[in-house]
Structure 1
Amino acid sequence: MRDTDPRMRIITHAIERLIPARTPAFVSVAVSETVPGTRGIRGSWTGTPADVAERVYTALYGRPTTATAPEASPLEQAHQAKRNRDLAGEVGALMSAGTALESAPWYPVRPGDLVHVHYEAAGQTPAFGETYLIGPEDGGLMSMRLLAHTLPDEESAAGGMIGCFAVEAADDPIYELWVEAGPHRLTIVRDGRPVHTGRG
C-alpha cells in the first residue's frame, strides 16, 4: 500500500523536515511561479508533504500500488526488498522505521510505559498478545520486562517465543520490537493513556 512503502515515507519525512521543530499534521507545501516582467505570481499549487511525496515517488518509481495486502513489519519489508534485489528499498525500510520511531511525539519510551504487542494467528498458533513494562536501569539505560501474555500454557511451552523481546539494559529497548513486529502491531500506554495505538 502507498503509506507502507518505505520510499514514500522517506520522501514525505524529508519534505516535512524542511521546517525544524515541525508538527507534521500542520505542514503544507506551496509552489508558485513568478514570471519576470509581470506584477505577481502567475501560477501556484498548494498541498501536503504526502501529495508532493506521491508526485516525486511516481516520477522515480511509477505509480504507487494500491493493492491491499497484509501490513508488513519494517523487517519483513526489508527482507522482501532483499529478495527483489532492491538495496535502496531494503535500507529504506529500516531507515524509515527508525525515523518513524524517533519522530513519534511520545518517543522515547519512559520507565512505567506499558508496551503491548499483538500477534496474528500463524499455523497452529492462535492469535495472542504480550505486555511488557519499561523500567529504569543503571547508567540511564532502560529495561523491557514481560508482564503477561495471552498464549495458552501448552502453546507457549511449545513455541518458545514468549518474552523474546525482553531487554535487560538498552538505550532504546523498544527498537527491536518496533522493527521486527512492526508499529502497526503495538499499543503503548503512558500514565494510563494510550500514546500509540498502531494502525488497527
Structure 2
Amino acid sequence: MPNTAGRTALITLALQDLIPGAHHDHMTVQVAERDPEKNAVHTWVGTPYAAACRIAEALWGDGGTAPEPDVSPLAAAEDAKRRRDLGGEVAALMSGHDRLTTAAWYPARPGDLVHVHYEGVGTLPAFGETYLVAAGDHGFLTLRLLAHTLPEGESGDGMVGCFAVEDDPEPLTEVWMEAGPHRLTIVRDGRPVHVGGAR
C-alpha cells in the first residue's frame, strides 16, 4: 500500500513552495473557471493541504486521510522519525495542525473549556485536567489550569498544568499536538464541540 500521507505532505510542500518565504498558515489555493458566455466565475478555494488531499485522492484513492488516530500528532511524527520516514513525519505534523485549524469550532475563544484525559500507566492512575481559555494581558489567549483529578502525592504531580500557556496566539496547539485530539474534550457555551476518542 502506498504511503499516501507522505505523498500528500510532499504535494502540500510543493504547493507552499510556489510562493517562497510565504507564511504557510496564510496561504490559500484558488482554482477558477471563467465562463465568458455567462459572464461568471466559479471558484474553489482551500488550503494547500486540502488541495493536496484532493490531488492524492485522485491519484491514489484515499487522499492520505485516515480515521482519527489514537496517538497524538507528535507521537505519530516521532514514530515515523524512528522508521526514518521523513514524509510520514512531516505528514503527521502537518495533518495534526491542519485537523486543528480546519475544525468547525476553531479558533479557541475565551470561555472555552478544554479537558485532557490521561490513561493510567504503571502505578500512575488515570486522571484528567480541565483548562479555561481566557483573554491574555497582551491581546492573545491564555490557557489556565482550573482543576485536575490526580490524587495528591502521586508521581505524576510534575505533569499537572503542563499545557498552561500565557498570551499565545494559538493556545490549543501544544495540547492538541502533544496530548492528541483523541484525549481532548472541548466545550463551548456549555456544549461539546470536540469529543476526543468519539467514534
- What is the TM-score normalised by the length of structure 2? 0.69
Using the TM superposition, give the Cα deviation of residue 145 of structure 1 relative to its aligned residue in structure 2, in angstroms: 0.4
Q: Paired residue for 1:52?
A: 57
AA aligned opposite 1:165: F
Q: Paired residue for 2:45?
A: 20
Determine the C-alpha separation between the residues in 1 that align with 2:170 and 2:102.
14
Q: How does 1:46-195 map to 2 (within 5 A)?
A: 52=57, 55-56=60-61, 71-155=70-154, 159-195=157-193
Identity of aligned residues (%): 53
Using the TM superposition, give the Cα deviation of residue 158 of structure 1 relative to its aligned residue in structure 2, in angstroms: 5.1
Whether contact under 8 Å (1:8, 1:53) holds in the other structure is no
Whether contact under 8 Å (1:189, 1:195) holds in the other structure is yes
1:8–1:179: structure 2 CA closer, same or farther, 3 Å change rule?
farther
Provide the secondary structure at the position in 2 that maps to 1:154. Answer: coil
AA aligned opposite 2:162: C
Determine the C-alpha separation between the residues in 2 that align with 1:159 and 1:78.
27
How big is each residue's C-alpha offset from its partner over 1:5-32, in whole Å with a ceiling of 9 and x where there is no partner? 9548869x99xx874369xxxxxxxxxx
- Runs of 4+ in structure 1 displaced over 2 angstroms? 5-11, 17-22, 51-58
Using the TM superposition, give the Cα deviation of residue 166 of structure 1 relative to its aligned residue in structure 2, in angstroms: 0.4
Provide the secondary structure at the position in 2 that maps to 1:160. Answer: helix
Determine the C-alpha separation between the residues in 2 that align with 1:191 and 1:6.
35
Provide the secondary structure at the position in 2 that maps to 1:115. Answer: strand
1:54–1:120: structure 2 CA closer, same or farther, 3 Å change rule?
farther
Determine the C-alpha separation between the residues in 1 that align with 2:169 and 2:66.
36
CA-atom RMSD in angstroms: 3.5
Provide the secondary structure at the position in 2 that maps to 1:81. Answer: helix
Whether contact under 8 Å (1:9, 1:96) holds in the other structure is no
Structure 1 runs not aligned, ≥5 long: 23-48
1:7–1:197: structure 2 CA closer, same or farther, 3 Å change rule?
farther
Provide the secondary structure at the position in 1 that maps to 2:123. Answer: coil
- What is the TM-score normalised by the length of structure 1? 0.68
Q: Paired residue for 1:36?
A: none
Whether contact under 8 Å (1:113, 1:188) holds in the other structure is yes
1:88–1:134: structure 2 CA closer, same or farther, 3 Å change rule?
same
Equivalenced residue count is 161
Structure 2 runs not aligned, ≥5 long: 16-28, 32-43, 48-53
Provide the secondary structure at the position in 1 that maps to 2:159. Answer: coil
Q: Which has the larger radius of gyration?
A: 1
Provide the secondary structure at the position in 2 that maps to 1:79. Answer: helix
